[in-house]
C-alpha cells in the first residue's frame, strides 16, 4: 500500500486538531490546555495500544532495542511540542499558531537534509523557502 493515502488521512484528521483544541481550551467554561492534552493523547495511547494488541506486536522486546533511545527521545520531543502547541492554541489565534507550529515540517526537512544526508534539490529548496514566506505572511499581522 502506498504512503499517500495515509498522508492524506493524516492531513485531513490533523486539520481538525487545532480548531477543536481552540474551542475546548478557550471561553467559559474551558478545559485547561494541559488537561486537554492529557485527554486527547489518552485516546492516542488507547488507540495505538489497541492496534499493537491486534497485530500481536512484541512491545517488551523493543524496549531494549538498540534504537529505542531514539523513540524515547522522539516521545520527549513530542510531549514538549504538543503541550506547548496546545498552550499556544489556548491563548493565541489558530490562524497564527497553527502555521508557526507547522514550520516543524520545514525544520524537519532541513534536519533530514543536514543530518540524514537526504538530497537537497532546487525544488525542495524553493519549497522550503516558500513555506517560510507563507508562514511569515500568515503569522505576522
Burial of 130 (0-12, 13-18, 19+ CB in 10 A): exposed
Q: What nine digits make up the cell of 111?
A: 534536519
Whole-number pLDDT of residue 65: 94
**23 & 41 share domain:** yes
Same-domain status, 72 and 113: no
How many domains does the chain contain in total?
Answer: 2
- Do 71 and 12 belong to one domain? yes
Regarding whether 86 and 103 lie in a shared domain, the answer is no
pLDDT of residue 34: 94
Domain housing 49 = 1-92
139 — pLDDT class (breaks 50, 70, 90) = confident
The residue whose grid cell reads 495500544 is 49
Query: What dihedral angle (degrees, nearest 10) is formed by the CA atoms of 96, 100, 101, 106?
Result: 150
Within this chain, do residues 58 and 102 fall inside the same structural domain, yes or no?
no
Over residues 20-33, the pLDDT tens digits come to 999 999 989 999 99
What global pTM score does this model have?
0.82
The confidence score (pLDDT) of residue 138 equals: 87
Pick from 39, 37, 42, 19: nearest CA to 92: 19
- pLDDT tens digits along 101-131: 989 989 999 999 999 999 999 999 999 999 9
Checking if the pLDDT of 90 tops 80, the result is yes
Residues 15 and 78 in one domain: yes
Neighbours of 85 (CB within 10 A): 20
Considering the domain architecture, whether residues 76 and 43 belong to the same structural domain is answered as: yes
Q: What percent of the chain has pLDDT over 90?
A: 79
Amino acid at each position: 500500500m502506498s504512503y499517500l493515502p495515509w498522508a492524506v488521512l493524516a492531513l485531513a484528521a490533523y486539520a481538525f486538531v487545532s480548531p477543536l483544541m481552540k474551542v475546548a481550551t478557550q471561553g467559559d467554561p474551558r478545559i485547561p490546555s494541559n488537561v486537554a492534552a492529557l485527554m486527547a493523547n489518552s485516546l492516542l495511547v488507547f488507540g495505538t495500544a489497541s492496534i499493537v494488541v491486534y497485530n500481536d506486536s512484541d512491545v517488551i522486546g523493543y524496549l531494549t532495542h538498540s534504537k529505542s533511545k531514539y523513540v524515547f527521545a522522539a516521545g520527549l520531543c513530542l510531549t514538549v511540542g504538543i503541550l506547548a502547541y496546545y498552550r499556544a492554541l489556548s491563548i493565541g489565534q489558530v490562524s497564527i499558531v497553527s502555521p508557526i507550529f507547522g514550520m516543524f515540517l520545514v525544520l524537519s526537512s532541513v534536519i533530514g537534509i543536514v543530518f540524514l544526508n537526504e538530497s537537497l534539490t532546487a525544488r525542495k529548496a524553493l519549497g522550503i523557502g516558500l513555506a517560510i514566506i507563507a508562514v511569515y505572511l500568515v503569522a505576522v499581522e
